[in-house]
Structure 1
Amino acid sequence: MLTVHHLNNSRSQRVLWMLEELGVPYEIERYERNPKTMLAPPSLVKVHPLGKSPVVTDGKATLAESGAILEYLVETYGEGRFSPDAGTPSFLRYRYWMHYAEGSLATPLLLQLVFDQIERKAPFLVRPVAKAISTQVKGMLVTPNLKRHFDYLEGELTEHGPWFAGRSFSAADVQMSFGIEAADARGLLRNRPKLADWLRRIHDRPAYQRALEQGGSYDLGSF
């Protein structure tokens, strides 16, 4: 039986969603973040040396990294579904978005999260200085970079949509979901109607809703 080592409020929600789309039976091993640090518990190290989620075990195989897991699931269980045909323009887009989600988009989102946390959690005596530094870095680097990325994504869906690989829903949409949902929780989808519409459509998918029932609370705005 395939097992998803599922951490609350994490990228492993994408794995549950992909499995629900595929209709593959699975079990869930649940882990909870430390409520103060929001870090994964040390027990995940027993599954994978990095102690991070998502991790999937399938027989003797242990797989980590969202993109690698989704590709494995589609190649192993998809029977031609959720991936465009190899050699087509849609497949090139599919492969690109599978890597872009964590290779390009995740970094500025993480930087924004880090600097927001610095502003909120710095010790009281140094908070004004920390906030001043954070505001300057975000203004010079993080915010313009995020705008560039989300303007780009809006344009790509406008020109090539309605899904990221083209006309059909694919695992690339599952892979892109975490970053775009995190952005929506931070108000970054305002005045970006194509992205907002894409987000509504993924939330309406029955498999997405079943995955939420399986995975539990999923609130990226709580970070």
Structure 2
Amino acid sequence: MLTLHHLGRSQSERIVWLCEELGLDYELKRYSRRADNRMAPPEYQALHPMGTAPILTDGDVVLGESGAICDYVIQTHGEGRLAVKRGEPGFADYLYWFHFANGTLQPVLLQVWSLERVDPSDKNAPLRMARERFSRVFATVEQRLGEVPYLVGEALTAADIMIVFSLTTMRLFNRCDLSPWPNILAYLQRIGARPAYRRAMQKAEPDLTPVLGAVPE
């Protein structure tokens, strides 16, 4: 059986949601962050050389990286569901948006937040550049979600599962306001209405109200 090792308030919520959307049998093991530095506890770090969330075990397989885990679960247990295959309509869009989450969106969020901690003033030239990229990234997502209900088209795919954490739970680490982006907010409401997403968040983060509004509560 698949075992998902979930670190609280981390990217591993993606895999809980994926398993719920696919209707898979899996075991969920929850771990709390350390009180002193908010990092993973030693028993979690011991699971994988990188020690970062998520971590999936499946027999002898021990796998990290949420994108790799999504691909693995879909191909080995999900019969290819929630992915778009080569030759099918939307294949290129699927590849782009699947990798956009951790390749573009999440890095720019981390870059802006890190630079703001160093020097939040307008004199910080790297921060100005990062904020310009931030605006361009969010404008791109906003435009796309004004054209289609989900990133790849009419149906939810793993590309959506990859991106939602960065737009929701990740904002608890820095209170990013999404009010300038109404299409993104409408999208998050569609996501929040999905039974599989609600089940996943209740299992992964039972003490957390999903962060679906403009500003985290």
Task: Give the 3-state SS of the residue equivalent to 1:39 in structure 2.
Answer: coil
Match of 1:177 in 2: 164
Q: Does the alignment pair 1:200 with 2:194?
A: no
* Deviations 1:12-69 (CA, angstroms, capped at 9, x unpaired): 0111000011111111222211234221122223210111110000111111101111
Task: Give the 3-state SS of the residue equivalent to 1:107 in structure 2.
Answer: helix
Amino acid in structure 2 at the alignment position of 1:162: P
Structure with greater proportional helix content: 1
Query: Normalized against structure 2, the TM-score is what?
Result: 0.86
Q: For the pair shown, which has the larger CA radius of gyration, 1 or 2?
A: 1
Amino acid in structure 2 at the alignment position of 1:60: D
Query: Normalized against structure 1, the TM-score is what?
Result: 0.84
2:139 maps to which of 139, 151, 157: 151
Match of 1:82 in 2: 82
Match of 1:108 in 2: 108
Match of 2:124 in 1: 136
* Deviations 1:181-213 (CA, angstroms, capped at 9, x unpaired): 235973442132211111111111101111111
Note the residue ranges of structure 1 that are not aligned, 5 or more in a row. 119-129
Task: Give the 3-state SS of the residue equivalent to 1:30 in structure 2.
Answer: strand
Match of 2:155 in 1: 168
Match of 1:71 in 2: 71
The 1:134–1:11 alpha-carbon spacing in structure 2 relative to 1, beyond 3 Å, is farther
Kindly tell me the number of residue pairs found equivalent between the two proteins: 209
Amino acid in structure 2 at the alignment position of 1:114: S
Note the residue ranges of structure 2 that are not aligned, 5 or more in a row. none
Task: Give the 3-state SS of the residue equivalent to 1:167 in structure 2.
Answer: coil
The 1:132–1:155 alpha-carbon spacing in structure 2 relative to 1, beyond 3 Å, is closer
Partners of 1:71 and 1:151 in 2: how far apart?
27
Q: What is the CA distance between 1:135 and its match in structure 2? A: 6.8
Indicate if the aligned counterparts of 1:183 and 1:189 stay in contact, CA closer than 8 A.
no
Indicate if the aligned counterparts of 2:120 and 2:127 stay in contact, CA closer than 8 A.
no
The 1:47–1:138 alpha-carbon spacing in structure 2 relative to 1, beyond 3 Å, is same
Tell me how large the CA RMSD over aligned residues is.
Answer: 2.4
